[in-house]
Structure 1
């Protein structure tokens, strides 16, 4: 072996090791990712594909699906008045519940930010409804609170809300507003990231608290507001448990709480029109995607990012 062969052999060996270790790392990564990949394919992508195929069929859960083309969609848009009542109820609920929930969450977050004692206790206490509110038991308690002879009836003398078409939807919306803990925690985290020097400079300039909130807090918090707005809007379109519990699964009174997902459940599992329910599910998916896209599009005009000077 010559002296020139030794460096060449050493270089060849050292160049082979990183390649082998890189392949080993890639293989290990796929091993760790495999449960997620299998879950995503088996529990999300494959059911979505099956649902899309069923939306073009007449399927009653017992017999084999029968291909009907676009009949489910045309019937949905042109021959089903209850479908449009469910759309109206859902849009009304989203327009009421989401702004009220975000406003209350922001107000409580501002109050907690200025507290110096027992902040952790109050933060946990306000967050607790977000853990409990989605359960059927709490929804049933909520129905009892707003029913005839319940606490709200005895206090206000307005009668039971859940039996009045003009008030039943508001009772369901208030249950969602009560679950403001999750966006509140996110708002509180965003408020703590705003530099205190901005408020000190504003006080020196004589800016009022309202002016500081409007000119400092809202612009600096706008990415967090946008995040909560998108998240809560998507969740509001999919609300089911409160409406099911408050209306006993009927969407009443007078279809005032017939939310989209509740009517989808009725068509799919009560009337056994699973093809029709699948078509409804895909329309809901497209609507949520369109609304989310609009929110992202409009965010360019009001969401401020500190890292981008032109915003």
Structure 2
């Protein structure tokens, strides 16, 4: 949230120089406030688990948020009761005419498939294009981040033989970017993916900035200059046991997964995970909601401008 300060307070120029948002009392007294409208396109198979993870992060703000869960198609998910989908999820067609302040598109366990081989790829591209016209700022997570880069910019991921799995150290590249407000210069975040896009490919796209990255796993947070798109290649929403559950799932299915890096105490899967990413994950979502959504969205969503088409 912005700091409300007296008009012409000398500290204002200092704070603005550090890219800290302030609001003078004249503007604050005339500001109109309404609940934010946020959509969540949940592509994960265990819908309920992902809902809890995302809602926990979205709730860490004084802003009032109305949330719509959106489904990609009519197929029954394997790990979520159909009754849950019927009760709590919207068909895309039912919200296609609505405009949103923010949209979150989750990851999906589709790492080894070509995009065009994904059964709902046509639906996915329809929603990606729809978001350019109907959403003020979209946050793409993991697989969705790579899928959006491919669709909008023609940037193709590489598939690694060994999965990036674990908790990795990252560096803040742009400390004045509002998404990273309050971040330490180095911080931890979980990754779980085979796909990889070299940082140089992000840097080669006009209008995109790699604001945080890792020496081991590459670009982590990539933001468009107009704040309309944010690409996060990891999983800041993951809970303490999520990487452990994925590891045991793969192990029990007959695979030979590597032990997630920097995750288990003493690198021993029989011991408890070391949780060292929650604060920055929470801060990332709070900053996105505040600076990329709340501070930039029009009060009247019908006035939301269509985003210009990305340049390939």
TM range (shorter): under 0.3
Structure 1 or 2: more helix by fraction:
1
Structure 1 or 2: more strand by fraction:
2
TM-score (norm. length: structure 1): 0.24
Tell which structure's C-alpha radius of gyration is larger: 1
